[in-house]
Amino acid sequence: MKFFIDTADINEIKEAASYGLLDGVTTNPTLVARTGKKFRQVLEEICAIVDGPISAEVTAVDYETMRREAEELASIHPNIVVKIPLILEGLKCVRWCSEHDIDTNVTLCFSPTQALLAAKAGATYISPFVGRLDDIAHEGMEMVRQIIEIYDAYDYETEVLVASVRHPLHVLDAARMGADVCTMPLSVIAQLVKHPLTDLGLARFLEDAKKVPR
């Protein structure tokens, strides 16, 4: 499973990249706004750090404007993946992008049938938002399981990118289900390596090492 970081913070991206585990980056307008930088500047900085898919979102909701934004975003760097909302006008834009060799990440997916439509439109990635479903007492990872089942049944090439990840259990479930990608904040990436027995074992090893003659 590929690991993406969900941020627009350059320092966080550099930190994640230093671990040697980072395969790509997802951003959205909210994350970019927090940087206080211009949109294009942020994307260019990210592309200079990470040699992998970089998701950048359109801000329009009508087909013609989305199409123009998609062209502009794709022209910034070959690694740019255009994020498009899962609305009817968005699906039209996804189809156009597919026909013009522009990779897409269909975002704000909250049901398996939405994911089916995105795959039929030719999406490169589908982003089911598991954490936001959990927030309203739905099982976000069950949606992911159903999406993978549907895609496998019809051999869709669209990759399942698990988004809105809140904790390591989301990552574990995504890996067990066979999701293609999991995108997460830096805090969750750091949590994945943590285990109390690892910390305890290391402390003991270090203490014993002090007793070994040099």
For residue range 46-66, list pLDDT tens digits in order: 999 999 999 999 999 999 999
Average pLDDT on 28-54 reads 96
Task: Let me know how long the chain is.
Answer: 214
Active site residue 83: yes
List domains and CATH numbers for the chain: 2-209 (3.20.20.70)
Catalytic residue among 2, 38, 83, 210: 83
How does pLDDT run across 124-134, given as a tens digit for each residue?
999 999 999 99
CA dist., res. 171 & res. 15, Å (int): 19
Query: Is 214 a residue whose pLDDT tops 90?
Result: no
CB 148 within 8 A of CB 1: no
- Strands (DSSP E) found in the chain: 2-6, 24-26, 54-57, 80-85, 104-109, 125-128, 159-162, 181-184
User: Which band of pLDDT confidence, cut at 50, 70 and 90, is reported for residue 212?
Assistant: confident
Q: What is the pLDDT of residues 165-209, one digit of tens each?
A: 999 999 999 999 999 999 999 999 999 999 999 999 999 998 888
Instruction: For residue 75, give the DSSP letter.
Output: T
CA nearest 112: which of 130, 91, 137? 130
Asked whether 83 and 54 are in contact (CB, 8 A), the reply is no
Residue 65, token pair as written in the block: 């404007």
Q: 20-36 burial by CB neighbour count: b if 16+ within 10 A, else e? A: eebbbbbbbeebbeebe
pLDDT band at 211 (very low <50, low <70, confident <90, very high): confident
